[in-house]
């Protein structure tokens, strides 16, 4: 802990963030509904040496998409869901998923924002842009990531604005969003964002039926309507502050209030169905952000961001019943449909990120960064009684992480620049560890500390103004997350003995982006990745109750390729697509017992390895009056079949090939002040799966209404 405190103090005193490139090549790339434009931030990010895509979220705000659905259209990215609205959503990037890919909101790790602020809940209207780092992550994010990182940059404008939207769709799904902002002439800033999601999630699923009289599952699959999967969440974000003061370029204080409530329909195996399990959570998150440009000297920028999240969680599984998919049930001699739970626990997250960056002349950029994160969990009733309490229930759960980073970027010419960086990862974990060598668990409270360096280099060179080459290498580390260490107290069991993952990563990338004759824009991109990962943390499913747990796997190697091609004509016609192939294989030859593993060199199970996306759109301007636009967009997604378990162990369970088609029509009036959109998702009503063959919604319809008011200062 002393070492962590030292690094935290160092961050507040000296820290510095990665310098963004000052030279820019103006360009515009329209990606169907996803548009990468040539304004400064997006252009500079895409021009950097990192394998990164910066997406302008502005063109997606008329859709009903959340952040996850917007990400699902980017090359190399696959969003994996366990169901409908409110279900667990994970990013699959570079062959890695879950917590291997870090999610940030305005540079802060999203894990500290509470369950109601999950990626599948955040409306795309909140975002100004989305940055997807497919390999090396800049030190300013302070990420301990293996598969890359995603940074959601929220909207921030000095103008008075109001943006209100509401959508209604299939399965009684409602989504509402409100965004307000005002800046006075004296520099006082007020911002308010609020959103709500609700759904019955009453779509049909095809699965096996449990015969309650014989306790046997049917051989065939049948169609059933989900009957216990209602979800809703509400989030409000309010900020007050000042800008353009002698002592602060920007100072904002805010609070985020969020809550969610969910019925739990099934576990990680869909045939095990529940009729009474529920979960709920609420969070209060005060925050502060301070920025100062030209601190003491010219070109020295300091920023400090900090927040605290107190999240109260409730889990209920008290019915002495066993249900089947027809909603029928029988009594049990023991309480709980899965494992009896009637508990309340509090999660406490503390985050602080400090950055200091300095530009010496036109070519030299220096940066320091530090991210400190402390987490603790306390059960307020320790499961309340002897039926639910174990020795582990009363043991402490705490996790302190610190990532310190430094970087230097040299811009040799406008065409060529290189960044080198180094990081130091430190962690201290306290939690219950199962020390038993038998099937009966025996827990002991243990403390572990770990520290290791990381380093890397990233370089880019423009062969011409339109043709860019990129290359990067990194030795990285990922520290286990709180959920992996301590579980979620519902369907996942933690493992406080997990080791951090380490990986050596290589990225190569080539991009061509040019507009010809002021009318035809061509965008081509191809990338290669290599990952050699040790102590890979793997999520596994316990077959009896359908719960999940985590283990260190050993060595995993991943080789992958993704490509994207797009064409745009005068922002009227756009067509493009991408394809990703990733070969992620087990390279561990022997089990801890010394026995040779039969699945050596198998593809890692439950990981899609070939998937792609095609989209096309056509836009008519001034069709229904001056300032009006009518857009029609089509999207197609493809995922190749893949094995759920190890192929060499005789696996016959395959997640089948999947194809889905979406169509949307958007009508905007008076230069976008009034907007209406109609969407059809999964038009052909295909069976779609992601994690562990859990079925996603079938065909659905939605209508969205949006009003935008905007006034300059």
Span 114-137, average pLDDT:
80
Per-residue pLDDT at 172: 97
Q: Which residue has the higher pLDDT, 98 or 677?
A: 677
Span 328-342, average pLDDT:
87
Average pLDDT, the chain: 84
Per-residue pLDDT at 24: 33
Percent of the chain surpassing pLDDT 90: 49
Q: Write the pLDDT tens digit of every residue in 563-577.
A: 999 999 998 999 999
State yes or no: pLDDT of 328 exceeds 50: yes
Q: Write the pLDDT tens digit of every residue in 511-552.
A: 999 999 889 999 999 999 999 999 888 877 665 555 677 888
Span 159-188, average pLDDT:
92
Span 578-605, average pLDDT:
89
Cβ proximity of 501 and 537 under 8 Å: yes
Q: Write the pLDDT tens digit of every residue in 674-694.
A: 999 999 999 999 999 887 678
Per-residue pLDDT at 130: 87
Torsion of CA 51, 56, 62, 65, to 10 degrees: 20
User: Per DSSP, what are the bridge partners of residue 105?
Assistant: 108, 152
Q: Which residue has the higher pLDDT, 711 or 75?
A: 75
Measure the CA–CA gap between 514 and 491, rounded to whole angstroms: 49
Per-residue pLDDT at 644: 84
Place of tokens 């809703």: 232
Comparing 226-240, 343-357, 425-439, 633-647, which segment has the lowest mean pLDDT?
425-439
Nearest to 158 by CA among 41, 61, 250: 250
pLDDT band at 55 (very low <50, low <70, confident <90, very high): confident
Per-residue pLDDT at 77: 84
Span 616-642, average pLDDT:
93
State yes or no: pLDDT of 4 exceeds 70: no
Cβ proximity of 76 and 67 under 8 Å: no
Span 378-382, average pLDDT:
61
Span 148-153, average pLDDT:
86
Cβ proximity of 468 and 460 under 8 Å: yes
Greatest CA span in the chain, whole angstroms? 79
Q: Which residue has the higher pLDDT, 104 or 249?
A: 249
Place of tokens 């919604």: 697
Per-residue pLDDT at 9: 39
Residues 6+ apart with CB under 8 A from 432: 391, 392, 395, 397, 443, 444, 445, 446, 496
Cβ proximity of 48 and 20 under 8 Å: yes
DSSP string, 455-503: EEEEEEEESSSSEEEEEEEEEEEEPPPHHHHH--SSSEE--TTPPPEEE
pLDDT band at 614 (very low <50, low <70, confident <90, very high): very high
State yes or no: pLDDT of 15 exceeds 70: no
Look up residue 421 and give its two tokens: 């960086």
Q: Which residue has the higher pLDDT, 506 or 487?
A: 506
State yes or no: pLDDT of 2 exceeds 50: no
Nearest to 312 by CA among 336, 341, 287, 279: 279
Nearest to 341 by CA among 318, 312, 322: 318
Span 273-299, average pLDDT:
93
CATH code given to domain 2-711: 2.40.170.20
Sign of CA dihedral 7, 13, 17, 21: negative
Gyration radius from the chain CA atoms: 25
Place of tokens 């380490």: 502
Span 287-311, average pLDDT:
93
Q: Which residue has the higher pLDDT, 124 or 94?
A: 124
Per-residue pLDDT at 65: 83
Comparing 64-78, 254-268, 496-510, which segment has the lowest mean pLDDT?
64-78
């Amino acid at each position: 802990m002393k070492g962590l405190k030292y690094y935290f103090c160092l961050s507040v005193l000296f820290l510095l963030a990665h310098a963004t490139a000052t030279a820019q090549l103006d360009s515009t790339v329209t990606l169907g509904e996803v548009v990468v434009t040539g304004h400064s931030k997006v252009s500079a990010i895409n021009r950097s040496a990192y394998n990164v895509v910066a997406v302008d979220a502005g063109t997606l705000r008329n859709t009903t998409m959340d952040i996850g659905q917007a990400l699902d259209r980017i090359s190399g990215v696959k969003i994996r869901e366990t169901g409908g609205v409110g279900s667990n959503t994970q990013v699959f990037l570079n062959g890695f998923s879950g917590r291997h890919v870090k999610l940030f909101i305005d540079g802060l790790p999203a894990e500290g924002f509470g369950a109601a602020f999950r990626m599948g809940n955040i409306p795309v209207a909140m975002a100004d842009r989305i940055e997807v780092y497919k390999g090396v992550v800049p030190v300013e994010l302070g990420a301990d990531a293996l598969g890359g990182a995603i940074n959601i940059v929220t909207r921030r404008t000095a103008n008075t604005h109001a943006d209100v939207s509401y959508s209604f769709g299939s399965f009684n799904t409602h989504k509402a969003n409100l965004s307000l902002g005002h800046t006075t002439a004296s520099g006082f800033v007020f911002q308010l964002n609020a959103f709500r999601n609700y759904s019955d999630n009453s779509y049909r699923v095809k699965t096996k039926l449990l015969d309650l009289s014989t306790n046997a599952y049917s051989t065939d699959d049948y169609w059933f309507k989900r009957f216990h999967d209602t979800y809703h969440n509400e989030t409000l974000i309010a900020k007050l502050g000042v800008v353009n003061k002698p002592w602060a370029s920007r100072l904002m204080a805010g609070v985020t209030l969020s809550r969610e409530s969910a019925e739990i329909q099934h576990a990680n195996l869909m045939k095990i169905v529940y009729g009474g399990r529920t979960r709920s959570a609420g969070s209060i998150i005060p925050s502060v952000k301070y920025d100062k440009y030209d601190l003491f000297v010219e070109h020295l920028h300091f920023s400090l961001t900090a927040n605290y999240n107190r999240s109260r969680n409730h889990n209920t599984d008290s019915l002495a019943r066993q249900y089947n998919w027809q909603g029928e049930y029988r009594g049990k001699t023991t309480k709980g449909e899965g494992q009896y739970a009637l508990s309340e626990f509090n999660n406490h997250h503390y985050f602080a990120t400090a950055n200091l960056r300095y530009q010496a002349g036109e070519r030299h950029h220096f940066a320091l960064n530090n991210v400190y994160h402390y987490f603790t969990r306390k059960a307020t009733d320790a499961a309340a009684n002897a039926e639910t309490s174990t020795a582990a229930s009363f043991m402490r759960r705490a996790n302190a992480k610190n990532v310190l980073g430094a970087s230097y970027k040299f811009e040799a010419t406008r065409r060529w620049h290189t960044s080198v960086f180094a990081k130091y990862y430190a962690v201290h974990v306290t939690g219950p560890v199962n020390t038993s060598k038998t099937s009966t668990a025996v827990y002991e409270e243990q403390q572990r500390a770990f520290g290791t360096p990381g380093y890397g280099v990233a370089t880019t060179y423009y062969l011409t103004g339109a043709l860019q080459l990129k290359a990067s290498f990194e030795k990285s580390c990922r520290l286990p997350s709180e959920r992996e260490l301590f579980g979620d107290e519902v369907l996942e069991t933690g493992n406080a003995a997990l080791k951090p993952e380490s990986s050596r990563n290589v990225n190569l990338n080539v991009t061509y982006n040019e507009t010809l004759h002021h009318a035809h824009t061509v965008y081509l991109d191809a990338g290669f990745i290599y990952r050699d990962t040790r102590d890979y943390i793997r999520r596994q499913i316990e077959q009896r109750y359908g719960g999940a747990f985590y283990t260190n796997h050993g060595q995993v190697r991943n080789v992958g390729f993704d490509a994207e091609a797009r064409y745009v004509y005068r922002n009227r016609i756009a067509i493009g697509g991408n394809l990703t192939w990733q070969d992620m294989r087990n390279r561990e030859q022997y089990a801890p017992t010394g026995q040779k593993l039969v699945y050596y060199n198998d593809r890692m199970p439950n990981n899609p390895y070939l998937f792609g996306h095609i989209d096309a759109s056509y836009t008519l301007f001034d069709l229904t009056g001056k300032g009006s636009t009518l857009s029609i967009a089509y999207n197609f997604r493809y995922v190749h079949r893949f094995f759920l378990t190890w192929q060499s162990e005789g696996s016959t369970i395959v997640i089948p090939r999947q194809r889905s088609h979406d169509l949307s029509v958007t009508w905007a009036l008076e230069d976008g002040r009034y907007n209406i959109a109609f969407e059809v998702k999964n038009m052909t009503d295909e069976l779609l799966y992601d994690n562990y063959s859990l079925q996603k919604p079938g065909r659905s319809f939605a209508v969205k209404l949006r009003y935008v008011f905007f006034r300059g200062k």
